[in-house]
Amino acid sequence: MTSHFPARRHLVLSPAALATVLLTLLCAALLAACAAPGARPASLMEAYAAVDAARSDRKVRAFAPAGLHEAETALAQAFRAWQAGQPEREVNQLAQLARQRASIARSQAIERRGRNGIEILEAQAQRPGTEPPGAGTAPADEAAMLVPSGDPLLPAAGEPIASPRSRR
């Protein structure tokens, strides 16, 4: 059976020519993206990264959900200001606020998690017949656990601790 359609011809490029074409297209796309009016300011992208990092931290979600919500709200406000064509200074200020709120949420999570751990230890200590962790160890044993051995900046065991002025 013969075909009524002409034979298709395929354009065959050498690997070097193909690489040149692809590189040219990539450069054109990058130039178009950079020259596009309304490219997102770096401050907005940094704020997004900070809020996203806080959002992906399960401790922040568990111990500081309100702080995380404030950071997300501030980021949304900065994004809306950028979309509305607000001055870059205002967008940068709102983005900075979002970054700060993300940092505050992370700090709140650390503080609340620590406080929660203390409350758990205190509750365990209140139970009759239970000893808190580390109970029954001698103070020297506790100090040995806290001070790494072989540290040249720390005094040897039994040696008095010198004041910073006496080391001069």
Burial (CB count <10 Å: 0-12, 13-18, 19+), residue 33: exposed
pTM for this entry: 0.53
- 97-154: pLDDT as tens digits: 999 999 999 999 999 999 888 888 888 888 876 665 555 555 555 444 444 445 554 4
pLDDT score, position 122: 87
Report d(CA 99, CA 68) in Å as an integer: 11
pLDDT score, position 29: 56
DSSP letter for each residue of 113-161: HHHHHHHHHHHHHHSTT---TTTT--HHHHHHHHSPTT-TTSPPTTPPP
- 64-106: pLDDT as tens digits: 999 999 999 999 999 999 999 999 999 999 999 999 999 999 9
CA angle 37/42/46 to nearest 5° reads 140
Could you tell me the residue ranges of all domains in the chain? 40-127
Q: For tokens 């922040």, what's the residue?
A: 60
CA angle 19/33/36 to nearest 5° reads 150
